[in-house]
Structure 1
Amino acid sequence: MGAGPGGREPFPPPAITPRCHSTHRHGLAGHPARQDHPHVSCPPHSPWTRAPAAVQRLSPRTAQKADLSGEAAGATINHSLALIHRLQELLRNGNASDTTLRVRTAGSDEVKVFHTHQLLLALQSEAFESLLHNQTVVTLHEPADNAALFEKFIRYLYCGEISILLHQAIPLHRLASKYRVSTLQRGVAEYMKSHLPSESSQGHVVGWYHYAVQIGDAGLQESCLQFLAWNLSAVMGGAEWATVSAELLVLLLERSDLVLQSELELYTAVEEWVGRTQAEAPVVVKVLRSIRYAMIPPSHLFQLQKQSAAIVQHYGAIQDLLFQAFQFHAASPIHFAKYFDVNCSMFLPRNYLAGSWGSPWVINNPARDDRSTSFQTQLGPSSHDTSKRVTWNVLFSPRWLPVSLRPVYSDSVSGAIQSIRIEDGRPRLVITPAMTSPDFAGVSFQKTVLVGVRQQGRIFVKHAYSFHQSTDELPDFLAHADLQKRTSEYLIDNSLHLHLIVKPVYHSLIRVRK
């Protein structure tokens, strides 16, 4: 016969040999049983003894091709969804269950009974592994909100999937922590961090912060605290403001990155909190002394002294702060700085959204080309400087290339240029003063850029970038943003929403000995 495909010799015809006779059963597919069977006698020229020779005639190249063709035909058969469905049916019907969980709620006669399987519970939960050891019936005591979600929790142990709503986050995390289901514990914590801006009628961020403090989750605490600081105006106008603890309120009032309309708005909300919570006198005094009265115009300070019930009641504890605030507004900043330390929080503005401190800037189609704008701010918070204006020029570039990515010529290859893509660039934001003035003496400017995004149907501040007067350009501005995509999380109706803030900071020049 001629050569086979590819010029290879065809397989040799099998040798014709007598079939071995045996009184025992033949092998698979009609082949005789193996030679080493104790009751089978095969002649030396049996095909079983010649198989290695046939294999040796198969070249390594041919064998490799056969293996590769087998790999190319490989596939994955995935019936995991069907398996999960069967596990759910196993829990629902209680088939072959070997463990009974009885869940009782304090103050209630209701008992929820679950027929479960010890193996599945122990695989997911370290606590259940030890709790169910040598026990078939276990009674569990849970608070009402935990008991209401216990069926959902057990179902997760069977199928590894769970749906969750805002008000269910804390009890589910509590169950996952109690029974040491680490995967669910981490999953619920990440859900809470990513759903801080979600809309809810009663609010949830304050409650999540207090829960994070209770369980010692520092990461969740910081995420909640930062969200509250950057979106404080919305929080103060909501139902959850009354649920803020004294400890949380003091932590917020100590921060300079609070985003709100003005210090007067903050004081009004704090006074409302004092009236609703009926806090004890030491707590109220600590809160009132955290207000930056120097950031409130004198005309409003006069009104507060006469009209604010909190100030009237605790005037003796804060009168030194009020007196210093009036002095701050009465004297020139340079003269005031000779006698008082102006580098303290009392004289440092927060991130005020009022027009005298900055300006919003909505950039339509920010990936298209460079943009520029200008705005004015007051020179400083002192009454001597509120009428003086500073003009600021702003440049936005959507595709600025850092030095490391800019085209450079190579000496080794004539005319060679680094290959770059326009999407390699990152957004650039530059803020510079359009003027200089002798009034700038003793004043420096801290610039802050707020970036607003929309999530869960709600607009909130996602980033707050700050940089000093000595730096015109904001480093790492939206370094990881994807403004080239219309689906970018940083775009609201295909626009980039920014708010530019300039905070004047006074400095002590010459100190006069007292």
Structure 2
Amino acid sequence: MALLWLLWVWLLALGTRGAHVLDLSGELPDALAQIFDSQQDCDLFFLVRGQEELHLCAHRLILAANPEARALAGEPGRNVTMSVDSECAPFLRDFIRYLYSRRIEVTLSSVKCLHKLASAFGAEALQAYCGRLFAALLPEDPSFHQALDLYAYARASRDPVLEQLCVRFLAWNLEALTRAEAWPRVPRPLLEALLPESDVAVSSELALLQAVAAWSGERGLSPREAAGLVEHIRFPMMAPEELFQLQFTLPLYRRLEALFRRKILQALEFHTVPLPLLARHAGLNLTRPAYRPRVYTAANWSAAISNGSLAAPRERRFPSSNEIGYGYYGSHGYRSGRYGYPNPSYQTFQTPLHPSFLFRDRLVSWTLVYLERMQDCWNYGFSCSPEELPALGLTRGGASDPTVGYENKALMLCEGGLVVDVVDFQGAKAPIPGALDANGSKPASSFPCAAGTFGGYQAVVRPFYLLNSTLLE
């Protein structure tokens, strides 16, 4: 009996191992979508009110099986009224069909409305997916009209993630925005969100002040409203001669003369009083944003290079360590390659040691390098691992100062110059993210480049006082 029982168990196991499975579950999404397309045998009826009325029917059981559709499926009664604005009414059928099939094609023309519908009716997965697609939209419009429209939509829909996405993109491209036709359209809440940021990329603080003054005049701000914006301008980051000329060149100065005088006096103290005295007697909090630079892209604080693909010859002679930083490069920062071609993958430049006028005659030499291969790291004296590449290298030449530190930034640029990511230099290197998608272990850029590759890179030097220096004791 026991033997027969064991034989039966063995035969049962043998039959299980030989089982075959027919899996047609892949056809289910299309089948469910066809049920919706048929508009038959419904037990739930939608009246869509917009510019024109639209009647659709649905099946409560199918919707109830999808967590994203339970808000609609749980509506009491058989008739549900949906209010949709005229702009998004054409996409409502696609949205409800998605709740059946859980599959939808999102285009640049539909992404905002699908995000709005998903937000309104609780489709969280679709809402998150469309939110990520907004990042692809922003670099495609150098006029910034679309970025401002998306910001207005984010504020209206109370979507903090989308709002912060727009703020970050516009902060990194604020210089271009101030020169665009859309600049007067910038709403005041957006400007109030941008001005306190340190990652704002502008050519200089003076250029930012001039743009804010022009914007204030265009919008007809009251003195009190304009003063609230000027409070965020970092006057110590402007040179003394620029500060002096404000009274003659800036009409806003006359409307806010008391405020400007106070800010200019504060800035002149920063420029003329040595750090030990400032720290000891002035009572200034030098860690405040006003005393630290933004991302200044003017030539006195930055340099740009390409990814090396523009260099014609494959073979090129690399400079020795003695040549770097000692005038070996031409006046434009590029060195001729072995065959006389310009090599744009590295550049030397000089910056002031510190923004204070006390350091106006002390310059620091920098070398910016595009590190594509391990050979580049060896030639330029960098310690790299293959996983880090490609990367940017930034080295400093000349004497250092124990009271000055650096928080340098690397800007990732698309063709046309839009900034799509800002990365910190950790020591002498900054990682280069993927321009379109994640590249192996590297994350993707915050915003993609339509071309799939970066058009170039810019290094920005950002010096600040080290307040824990022993020289202050």
TM-score normalised by L of structure 1: 0.67
Q: Deviations over 1:473-501 (max 9, x none)?
A: 3476659963999x997897867732112
**Following superposition of structure 1 onto structure 2, how do residues 329-368 of structure 1 map, counting pairs within 5 Å?**
329=271, 339-340=281-282, 341=284, 342-364=286-308
**Are 2:394 and 1:431 equivalent residues in the alignment?**
yes
Tell which deviates more after alignment, 352-361 or 491-500.
491-500
**1:378 aligned residue:** 352
- Which residue, 94, 109, 124 being the options, matches 1:182? 124
Q: 1:78 to 1:443 in 2, by over 3 A?
A: closer
- Aligned partner letter, 1:128: L
Please say if residues 420 and 449 of structure 2, whose CA atoms lie closer than 8 Å, have aligned partners that are also in contact. no
CA distance in 2, matches of 1:77, 1:295: 64
C-alpha displacement of 1:357: 0.4
**2:336 aligned residue:** none
**2:328 aligned residue:** none
C-alpha displacement of 1:328: 3.9
CA distance in 2, matches of 1:62, 1:104: 61
CA distance in 2, matches of 1:142, 1:291: 42
C-alpha displacement of 1:149: 3.5
**Are 2:188 and 1:246 equivalent residues in the alignment?**
yes
**1:446 aligned residue:** 407
Please say if residues 308 and 370 of structure 2, whose CA atoms lie closer than 8 Å, have aligned partners that are also in contact. no
**Following superposition of structure 1 onto structure 2, how do residues 265-280 of structure 1 map, counting pairs within 5 Å?**
265-280=207-222
**1:482 aligned residue:** 439
Please say if residues 423 and 430 of structure 2, whose CA atoms lie closer than 8 Å, have aligned partners that are also in contact. no
Q: 1:493 to 1:344 in 2, by over 3 A?
A: same
- Which residue, 474, 482, 499 being the options, matches 2:458? 499
Q: 1:482 to 1:490 in 2, by over 3 A?
A: farther
**Are 2:102 and 1:160 equivalent residues in the alignment?**
yes
CA distance in 2, matches of 1:89, 1:141: 21
CA distance in 1, matches of 2:17, 2:309: 51
**1:35 aligned residue:** none
Please say if residues 305 and 346 of structure 2, whose CA atoms lie closer than 8 Å, have aligned partners that are also in contact. no
- Aligned partner letter, 2:138: L
C-alpha displacement of 1:80: 4.5
- Which residue, 359, 362, 380 being the options, matches 1:388? 362
Please say if residues 143 and 182 of structure 2, whose CA atoms lie closer than 8 Å, have aligned partners that are also in contact. no
C-alpha displacement of 1:322: 1.9
Please say if residues 337 and 511 of structure 1, whose CA atoms lie closer than 8 Å, have aligned partners that are also in contact. yes
- Aligned partner letter, 1:89: D
Residue aligned with 2:408, SS: strand
Q: 1:327 to 1:194 in 2, by over 3 A?
A: same
C-alpha displacement of 1:316: 2.0
Residue aligned with 1:174, SS: helix
**Are 2:62 and 1:101 equivalent residues in the alignment?**
no
- Which residue, 246, 249, 260 being the options, matches 2:202? 260
CA distance in 2, matches of 1:275, 1:492: 38
- Which residue, 106, 128, 145 being the options, matches 1:203? 145
Please say if residues 231 and 460 of structure 1, whose CA atoms lie closer than 8 Å, have aligned partners that are also in contact. yes
C-alpha displacement of 1:384: 3.8
- Aligned partner letter, 2:395: T
Please say if residues 399 and 424 of structure 1, whose CA atoms lie closer than 8 Å, have aligned partners that are also in contact. no
Residue aligned with 1:79, SS: helix
Q: Deviations over 1:383-430 (max 9, x none)?
A: 3433432112356544669xxxxxxxxxxxxxxxxxxxx855555554
Residue aligned with 2:82, SS: strand
Q: Deviations over 1:237-275 (max 9, x none)?
A: 335543433333223211212112111221122123212
C-alpha displacement of 1:67: 5.9
Residue aligned with 1:279, SS: coil
Contiguous gaps of at least 5 residues in structure 1? 1-52, 402-421
**2:380 aligned residue:** none
Contiguous gaps of at least 5 residues in structure 2? 319-344, 376-384
Q: Report how many residues are paired.
A: 420
Q: 1:152 to 1:477 in 2, by over 3 A?
A: closer
**2:93 aligned residue:** 151
TM-score normalised by L of structure 2: 0.72
CA distance in 1, matches of 2:65, 2:7: 51
C-alpha displacement of 1:129: 1.9
- Aligned partner letter, 2:411: L
Q: Deviations over 1:197-248 (max 9, x none)?
A: 3327552334434544555544333333322222222333335543433333
Q: Deviations over 1:282-327 (max 9, x none)?
A: 3211101111122223333344322322222122233200233344
Please say if residues 151 and 162 of structure 2, whose CA atoms lie closer than 8 Å, have aligned partners that are also in contact. yes
Please say if residues 428 and 473 of structure 1, whose CA atoms lie closer than 8 Å, have aligned partners that are also in contact. no
- Aligned partner letter, 1:500: A
- Aligned partner letter, 1:445: Y
C-alpha displacement of 1:88: 5.2
CA distance in 2, matches of 1:373, 1:458: 18
**2:422 aligned residue:** 463
